[in-house]
């Protein structure tokens, strides 16, 4: 992903996050309605996606985990980072976090 701009890498992470949240909703639905068996293939696909993203994130630094989880994968307050970082530190770390996360995903 080195040949891509920071903005393009951020778009990739945003798309990964959208798919991650969608897959989590599907998993919750299958479990809530107790229809995993009827949807086994879709369930396995969604489960694999969520697990792969989670596994990759666990291989990242603590700051990257926090930034990717709160900034992309979960719906958080818009300025959640001010509790942990200054604004300038957050933007500097976010750029590094995106690159590290994509590297952990082998993208």
Which pLDDT value is given to residue 1?
A: 58
pLDDT of 2 over the 80 cut? no
Q: Is the distance from CB of 60 to CB of 97 less than 8 angstroms?
A: yes
What per-residue confidence (pLDDT) applies to 76?
82
Question: Angle at CA 23, nearest 5°, toward 21 and 28?
Answer: 95
What is residue 17's predicted lDDT score, i.e. its pLDDT?
Answer: 97
| pLDDT tens figures, 41-74 | 888 899 999 999 999 999 999 999 999 999 999 9
Terminal alpha carbon distance of the chain: 6
| Residue 79 φ/ψ, nearest 5 degrees | -115, 40
User: Tell me, what's the pLDDT at 53?
Assistant: 97
Q: Give the model's confidence band at 32: pLDDT under 50 very low, under 70 low, under 90 confident, else very high.
A: confident
Does pTM surpass 0.75?
yes
CB atoms within 10 A of CB 31: 11
User: CB under 8 Å to 53, separation ≥6 — which residues?
Assistant: 16, 20, 73, 105
């Amino acid at each position: 992903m080195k040949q891509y701009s920071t903005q393009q890498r951020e778009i990739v992470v945003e798309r990964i996050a959208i798919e991650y949240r969608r897959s989590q909703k599907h998993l919750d639905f299958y479990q809530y309605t107790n229809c995993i068996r009827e949807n086994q293939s879709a369930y396995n696909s969604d489960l694999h996606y969520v697990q792969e993203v989670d596994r990759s994130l666990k291989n990242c630094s603590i700051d990257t985990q926090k930034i990717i989880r709160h900034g992309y994968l979960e719906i958080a307050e818009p300025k959640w980072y001010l509790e942990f970082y200054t604004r300038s530190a957050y933007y500097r770390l976010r750029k590094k976090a995106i690159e590290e996360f994509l590297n952990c995903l082998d993208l």
